[in-house]
Chains A and B, each alone.
Chain A
């Protein structure tokens, strides 16, 4: 199982494509355990889409699905996202 786990660094390009800012240093606060941490340190699982999970409580922070022309981003577990602009 660990073999399939990466981290938020792996979606840095995709997130920057969408948000037009560097997002791995953005600080996300988990709605499950209230821990705040950089997106780059979140656990990442790849399957049909991408799931980001809280490294502390495993809560699902974000789900990302992409096709050739669109990206769907579901953020069920991020209470706050603090971004350097």
Chain B
């Protein structure tokens, strides 16, 4: 494992917000400068800690959206209406503000170009974030690993990184969208929830031994993993990361 910072106790450190990018009506990317950041691998996350004036602390995990790039770390955060942390991150924080953060964290749901493919990424909603880090890492390394992304969102307006995904397509990357709730006029791609039939059509055959990364809400991820096993894929090649209601 060519990991960065595999060993070592995690410590909280101050990160300064340098840029905010609106992705969709409910989702923003917030880019931090983290002095001494050791670099990260695609799929890793950070813990973010907010402390109120009375000492109350709230902690959340967020997937890193960016490929490793010096001391810059981009998080893409969905604003949850009743969330404790996400509304602060998406609405209140301004460039120059500092928050506490620790990482990079995790090593299971991680992909590096050296691991090869074919790579099959399956995203539900904001589950795209760690998978986007893989796509960006692949692009930054000029890697041409055969990669397919099946990305499920409610509508086209909810598609995060839409333009960038279009731009990065080709050179071995295929992006397939399914819009479950509403579709723009003339929509010709999928318009339903991800199911076994869709996965069979989009996924490389089991004989090609694809490596799977599925990320999204728990019911989405579990339905995808179950269908993939039914289709004859090796359960050990299916890595999952579940987003929960406590992500706020």
Instruction: Give residues in A with beta carbon < 8 Å to B.
Output: 2-10, 12-13, 16-17, 20-22, 24-25, 38-41, 46, 84-85
A20→B109 contact, CB < 8 A: no
What are 10 sample pairs from A and B whose C-beta atoms fall under 8 A apart? A4-B245, A9-B106, A9-B109, A12-B108, A16-B9, A22-B107, A41-B108, A41-B239, A41-B240, A85-B7
How many residue pairs, one in A and one in B, have C-beta atoms under 8 Å apart? 82
A24→B109 contact, CB < 8 A: yes
CB distance from B132 to the nearest CB of A (A): 17
Name the prevailing secondary structure of the B interface residues.
Answer: mixed
**A6, A9, A39, most chain B CB atoms within 10 A:** A9
Say which residue of B6, B105, B218, B245 sits within 8 Å of A13 (CB atoms): B105
B244→A9 contact, CB < 8 A: no
Nearest residue, chain A, Cβ from B223: A2
A25→B1 contact, CB < 8 A: yes
B108→A8 contact, CB < 8 A: yes
Residues 82-116 of chain B, each 1 if its beta carbon lies under 8 Å from chain A, else 0: 00000000000000000000110111110000000
- The complex places the Cα of A84 from the Cα of B106 at a distance, in Å, of 13
From known contacts A3-B218, A5-B218, A40-B106, infer whether A17 and B246 are also in contact, taking CB-CB under 8 Å.
Answer: no
Query: Is the CB of B169 closer than 8 A to any CB of chain A?
Result: no
Nearest residue, chain B, Cβ from A43: B242
Say which residue of B9, B109, B218 sits within 8 Å of A40 (CB atoms): B109
Nearest residue, chain A, Cβ from B43: A9
B10→A13 contact, CB < 8 A: yes
Say which residue of B6, B105, B242, B245 sits within 8 Å of A12 (CB atoms): B105
**B103, B106, B109, B246, most chain A CB atoms within 10 A:** B106
B218→A2 contact, CB < 8 A: yes
Nearest residue, chain A, Cβ from B246: A46
Say which residue of B105, B222, B239, B240 sits within 8 Å of A2 (CB atoms): B222
B218→A10 contact, CB < 8 A: no
CB distance from A19 to the nearest CB of B (A): 9
- The complex places the Cα of A41 from the Cα of B3 at a distance, in Å, of 19
Query: Is the CB of B8 closer than 8 A to any CB of chain A?
Result: yes
Name the B residues within 8 Å of A6 (CB-CB): 218, 242-244, 246
Q: Which B residues, 191 to 248, have Cβ-Cβ distances below 8 Å to chain A?
A: 217-219, 222, 239-246
B9→A9 contact, CB < 8 A: no
Q: Which 10 residue pairs across A and B have the least CB separation, nearest first? A: A40-B108, A24-B108, A22-B107, A12-B106, A25-B107, A13-B47, A20-B9, A6-B244, A12-B105, A13-B105
